[in-house]
Chains A and B, each alone.
Chain A
């Protein structure tokens, strides 16, 4: 199939449609809006459901209803909208339903801005809504990968009856790249036996997140944790670059990982033995891969477009076996490869103190570099 030049947001929308999206519910918010606009034309054209909801709250609860039918449903938003959706995400998770959520992250907190960011890691990887549940969170670093992961997201949501979040920053949503889209898959429009409205269910089906008796709720929580164990076993995804002989490893996902790759290649040209680990599944996290590297390399550099939300996970896995340096840009700022290359040099030429606070070192540098505006 021929490659087509497509913007990230539209590529995700068109892929979802082709892999059998039955219904879409969303609300306009930059930098995600093209996704909603594309489906506002394509879904009705194909006789499928599209609703521009009154709010992200409305949208996620429409997804909740649609997910009760077990048929493919999706919403998309950007950071402030996803915050608003957290209520519904908790309910959908507590009802064990399959749904796909796309978060095209922008700078924050608050209204923030519409520039690319990775500051939603914590709210999606480590919860966000009330109660205890996990999302599967997958993060592409290119438009083609966004296409492939969109298709995977629906499969995983159905396989585990869980919410799957496709997490990307605004630059990937807005960027055009040549991609190969999947072929149209057959559309399933009859609910499966476990779902509401199914012709195959034996008795009346009730979909609820209530467990009024604590022993029952606890049992349900054990069931969810058991399923999560399965997900952790089967669904860890990452990409390693030059890890075999690496003495130092840069760890970054999405756009930050992609820019880090450029910096890493430049460092290799200088003769430094640098590798890159790019997590694709942020939840479940490639913990074992990081753990094994911590046993054999001399140091980590974590690169993010946030204040180090993933950094905390790496620090916890590294457990003071190797120094963990950090370089991040915040508030919608994107690092240049040169900045990361400098951070690589600092790591290589640094004191290799495993007790050093990588974030504090970085923040001192940031105060010099950008100031506090006061």
Chain B
């Protein structure tokens, strides 16, 4: 046999445990988890981070990360993170929340945390439905979108309009960095990672509240293959939920990020 140069191009992030996740095949929760773990590893903050898990599909997120974690009541993760951060201000705190958790049940808590300029980072997964309970209508469900609780398609006359969370929170002075990214393709994922890095750096440097909304796919509840789900996201979600930076405070725009 001839000698070949072996180069590691892919390995498990140091911030993960050895467990296999319970997420459905094709789901982008795994991608989002990995990006968080990679960013915290690159920042050297793995041992200094405390996560707050939501109620929803990511309820067991704490099993997959190997740093300290707490599990919040539905929607209350930003309040719980506030309690921890104010008690241990030297720690890096993040909440990981879905759209039912953050934009429906927990809208009060997220708006209050952002307006206080709470020094926490929020990773917000928008997949336009309630994943864990089987695909019901969420605040993010698109007009006309069929779900198990809007079987004829979301009728905006009786069921209202979707909430653009990133744009909404960007109006608050306490929010230093608010961005939306997508996880449906490789370019989107690379951009998402950079935004997550920025969000954590904002916290580390004490510049205020930061949130990254991640457009995600839910092949199981959408009833689509992974490929078709990605395409559906691009065709239907991106026009309604544009990718972009909705709030970059002056301090954040002048911020220097080491590495990356």
Contacts and interface: CB of A to CB of B under 8 A. Distances in A.
Contacts of B83: 23, 25, 61-68, 73
Looking at chain A's contact residues, the main secondary structure is mixed
A61 B71 contact: no
Contact of B59 (A53, A57, A91, A210): A210
Contact of A65 (B62, B66, B79, B108): B79
B70 A68 contact: yes
Interface in A135-171: none
A54 interface: yes
Contacts, number: 117
B57 to A, nearest CB: 14
A66 B69 contact: no
A354 interface: no
A49 B87 contact: yes
A58 interface: yes
B108 A207 contact: no
B27 interface: no
Nearest to B81: A65
Given A58-B108, A65-B52, A197-B68, A88 B73 contact: yes
Contacts of A53: 79, 112
B220 to A, nearest CB: 19
B146 interface: no
A22 interface: yes
Interface in B103-147: 108-109, 111-112, 116
B86 to A, nearest CB: 4
Q: Which of A25, A203, A205, A208 has the most CB of B within 10 A?
A: A208
B165 to A, nearest CB: 17
Interface string A212-225: 00000000000000
Nearest to A70: B87
Nearest to A59: B79
Contact of B87 (A22, A88, A203, A206): A22
B246 interface: no
B72 A196 contact: no
A51 interface: yes
A177 interface: no
B134 to A, nearest CB: 17
Contact of B112 (A22, A54, A71, A210): A54
Given A58-B112, A88-B76, A196-B68, A206 B84 contact: no
Contacts of A203: 66
Contacts of B86: 23, 49, 51, 62, 66
A237 to B, nearest CB: 30
B80 interface: yes
Interface string A73-107: 10000000000000110010000000000000000
A54 B75 CA distance: 14
B109 A58 contact: yes
A54 B112 CA distance: 6
Interface string B68-100: 111111001001111111111001000000000
Top 6 nearest A-B pairs (CB, nearest first) are: A65-B83, A54-B112, A208-B71, A61-B79, A62-B83, A65-B80
11 contacts: A49-B87, A51-B116, A58-B108, A65-B82, A65-B83, A65-B87, A68-B83, A71-B87, A191-B88, A196-B68, A209-B71
Given A63-B83, A65-B80, 16 more contacts: A23-B83, A25-B82, A54-B109, A58-B76, A58-B112, A59-B79, A61-B73, A65-B52, A65-B83, A65-B87, A66-B84, A68-B84, A91-B73, A197-B84, A204-B67, A209-B71
